[in-house]
């Protein structure tokens, strides 16, 4: 019988480097897949339908909720975000490890349903660095940045609920640390 893959939940404030770290992990770990979430937020330049997100209207998203298609869903900054369960289960069954990159509210939901998953919070070295990265990315309006910073403060307070807190200071170190957690060298 095939061994099931491991479910890995990654959260952290906007701009901390989750996307950057996860891109590296996906490039370096052959048996790792990223769950593609559905969202009602508008696509950014770097977004590709079906690759970074499945972009949905509010009505479409609500009908997915009604159809119990999500492992979890949450409202972040006025937009819906959710993890479609089918692809996650298929990949886990076929022995692949699966990353969910979701906000803290969503992760708390998954903790109730999947205590077997590994929960990793990516933290910034300090708040000033976080702000610099968020502004430096240049994808958000000033208004959006303010909202994301407010959300970040609340998210940082919840980091103790995770199995691991990885500080993304030097990118290579953060990637290596998460790789050893996923590969089970550092099992909870």
Angle at 62 between CA 85 and CA 67, to 5 degrees: 50
Cα separation, 93 vs 78, whole angstroms: 34
Angle at 49 between CA 152 and CA 168, to 5 degrees: 30
149 token code pair: 């910073």
Residue 158 interacts with, from ligand ADP, ligand 5GP, none (CB under 5-8 Å by kind): none
Nearer to ligand 5GP, 106 or 124 (CB): 106
Q: Does 40 bind ligand 5GP (CB under 6 A)?
A: no
Contact by Cβ (8 Å): 155, 103: yes
120 token code pair: 């990793």
| The one among 137, 145, 163, 186 contacting ligand ADP by CB under 6 A | 137
The distance of closest approach from Cβ of residue 125 to ligand 5GP in the complex, given in angstroms and rounded to an integer, is 18
Residue 124 interacts with, from ligand 5GP, ligand ADP, none (CB under 5-8 Å by kind): none
| The one among 25, 32, 88, 106 contacting ligand 5GP by CB under 6 A | 106
Residue 133 interacts with, from ligand 5GP, ligand ADP, none (CB under 5-8 Å by kind): ligand ADP
Tell me the CA distances in angstroms from 57 to 87, 98, 116, one per residue in order. 20, 26, 33
Cα separation, 183 vs 177, whole angstroms: 10
Nearer to ligand ADP, 153 or 171 (CB): 171
Q: Which of residues 139-158 bind ligand ADP (CB under 6 A)?
A: none
Nearer to ligand 5GP, 3 or 20 (CB): 20
CA-based radius of gyration for the chain? 16
Q: Does 41 bind ligand ADP (CB under 6 A)?
A: no
Contact by Cβ (8 Å): 99, 87: no
Query: Rule CB under 6 A: which residues touch ligand ADP?
Result: 12, 14-20, 133, 136-137, 168, 171
């Amino acid at each position: 019988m095939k061994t099931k893959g491991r479910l890995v939940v990654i959260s952290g404030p906007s701009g901390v480097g989750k996307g950057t770290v996860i891109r590296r992990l996906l490039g370096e770990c052959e048996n790792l897949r990223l769950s593609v979430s559905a969202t009602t937020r508008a696509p950014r330049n770097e977004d590709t339908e079906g690759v970074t997100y499945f972009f949905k209207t509010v009505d479409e998203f609500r009908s997915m909720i009604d159809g119990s298609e999500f492992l979890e869903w949450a409202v972040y900054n006025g937009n819906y975000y959710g993890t479609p369960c089918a692809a996650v289960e298929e990949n886990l069954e076929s022995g692949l490890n699966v990353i969910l990159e979701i906000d803290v509210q969503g992760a708390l939901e998954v903790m109730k349903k999947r205590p077997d998953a590994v929960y990793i919070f990516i933290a910034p070295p300090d708040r000033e660095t976080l702000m610099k990265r968020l502004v430096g990315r240049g994808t958000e309006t000033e208004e959006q940045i303010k909202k994301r910073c407010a959300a970040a403060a609340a998210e940082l307070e919840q980091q103790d609920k995770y199995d691991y807190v990885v500080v993304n200071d030097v990118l290579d170190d953060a990637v290596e640390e998460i790789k050893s957690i996923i590969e089970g060298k550092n099992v909870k």
